[in-house]
Amino acid sequence: MNKNDQAQPAISLRGVSKRYGDLQALSDVSFDIKKGEFFGLLGPNGAGKSTLISALAGLLKVNDGSISILGADVEKDYRQARLNLGVVPQEIVMDPFFTVRETLQFQSGYFGLRNNGAWIDELLDQLGLSDKADTNMRKLSGGMKRRVLIAQALVHKPQVLVLDEPTAGVDVELRQSMWRFVRRLHREGHTIVLTTHYLEEAEELCDRIAIINKGQLLALETKEDLLARGLGSKLLVKAKTPIKHIPDEYQDRIARHQGKEIELTIHRDSDSVMDILDNLRAASIDIDYVSVLSDSLEDVFVRMTGDQEVSQIEGSEVQV
């Protein structure tokens, strides 16, 4: 692989816009996804994620801008672009006339591949479908159908794999085995693009994350940068006796005050936890223990998309 090949993005979007009547589904979206990345695409319902994925896959035509997959334009060089890309659609869809193996054989053929039996067998094995190979698609459970969709997306060995909410409605066991398989693909050099409603999945799996809302790109950063956006953490302080007075300088930082507990909003870069604790002690608060509660991706996401209040926090406890 030469330098140019390495520098070439897996997916490149330039000024992509899509309108449906008055609705601006995508608005001048531009970014690159690097080769070999595990990339998360997040956004609330109706944010434009599926529109973006449909545009990548050539399932819709954008009004403005261009998209390329490993350098192949999805319209002008659609054959190469589609060979480079595997898409696991969000909806569980299937052709009820065929068995699992027939489904995969046909899908191979559509990509111009004959004698793809060895890879199909490997996919069936890796996805736990070997004993269902000759079962009609209609007779599979939802989870099994989802696995077949993944196998279909991989049947032509694409370098870039897009998973559009692949774990929606999938049980825990299948979800874990699916992620094991996807992680293996990532280790082998595949570029993975994931959209999911389970933000902890994105937090655990993705190297970089894009957040879109109302068709606009709100953020595109590494997971670490996104989590450390300076939007702060919380300091949980529990006293041995009920806290009656909190120093005036912290009045506007009180996120919660209940009996012996207070939660203060802190800024990681500018606040010193030790100074705050000293000031609280000086105000006659007899501290029992403290805990620093970090923002989760969900907190950042909710704040950025202007949705509901922070609903989940993760913490690291410090005994004093």
Give 188's DSSP letter: T
Answer yes or no whether residue 130 interacts with another protein by CB under 8 A: no
Contacts of 80 (CB under 8 A, 6+ apart): 69, 70, 72
Judge contact between 310 and 302, C-beta under 8 A: yes
Q: Which of 8, 24, 31, 60 binds another protein (CB under 8 A)?
A: 60
Contacts of 313 (CB under 8 A, 6+ apart): 234, 293, 294, 295, 296, 299
Answer yes or no whether residue 292 interacts with another protein by CB under 8 A: no
Least CB distance to another protein at residue 28 (A): 19
What is the pattern of x (binds another protein, CB under 8 A) and - over residues 61-100?
x----------------xxxxxx-x-x-x-x-xxxxxx--
Judge contact between 83 and 158, C-beta under 8 A: yes
Nearest residue (CB) to another protein, 89 versus 232: 89
Nearest residue (CB) to another protein, 96 versus 230: 96
Counting Cα atoms < 13 Å in the Cβ hemisphere of 196 gives 26
Answer yes or no whether residue 58 interacts with another protein by CB under 8 A: yes
Site for another protein in 131-190 (CB under 8 A): 152, 156
Residue 258's nearest CA partner among 276, 238, 240, 277 is 238
Q: Select the span of 33-41, 108-116, 211-219, 266-274 touching another protein (CB under 8 A).
A: 108-116
Nearest residue (CB) to another protein, 104 versus 124: 104
What is the rounded distance in angstroms from the CA atom of residue 243 to the CA atom of residue 222? 39
Q: Select the span of 102-110, 239-247, 276-284, 289-297 touching another protein (CB under 8 A).
A: 102-110
Least CB distance to another protein at residue 156 (A): 8
Judge contact between 238 and 290, C-beta under 8 A: yes
Q: Which of 110, 139, 173, 286 binds another protein (CB under 8 A)?
A: 110
Least CB distance to another protein at residue 151 (A): 12
Q: Which of 2, 4, 22, 112 binds another protein (CB under 8 A)?
A: 112
Answer yes or no whether residue 109 interacts with another protein by CB under 8 A: yes
Direct distance between the N- and C-terminal alpha carbons of the chain, in angstroms, rounded to an integer: 54
Nearest residue (CB) to another protein, 64 versus 286: 64
CA 254 to chain centre: 32
Answer yes or no whether residue 195 interacts with another protein by CB under 8 A: no
Residue 193's nearest CA partner among 66, 34, 68, 302 is 34
Least CB distance to another protein at residue 111 (A): 5
Q: Which of 32, 102, 121, 271 binds another protein (CB under 8 A)?
A: 102
How far CA 37 is from CA of 5, 11, 54, 193, 279, in Å, comes to: 15, 10, 20, 8, 45
Q: Select the span of 104-112, 202-210, 286-294, 301-309 touching another protein (CB under 8 A).
A: 104-112
Dihedral, 261, 264, 269, 272 alpha carbons, nearest 10 = -50
Q: Select the span of 105-113, 172-180, 188-196, 252-260 touching another protein (CB under 8 A).
A: 105-113
Sheet holding 261-266, edge to edge: 254-258, 261-266, 233-239, 287-294, 314-319
Residue with tokens 């996120």: 255
Judge contact between 37 and 192, C-beta under 8 A: yes
Contact residues: another protein, CB under 8 A? 54, 57-61, 78-83, 85, 87, 89, 91, 93-98, 102, 106-114, 152, 156
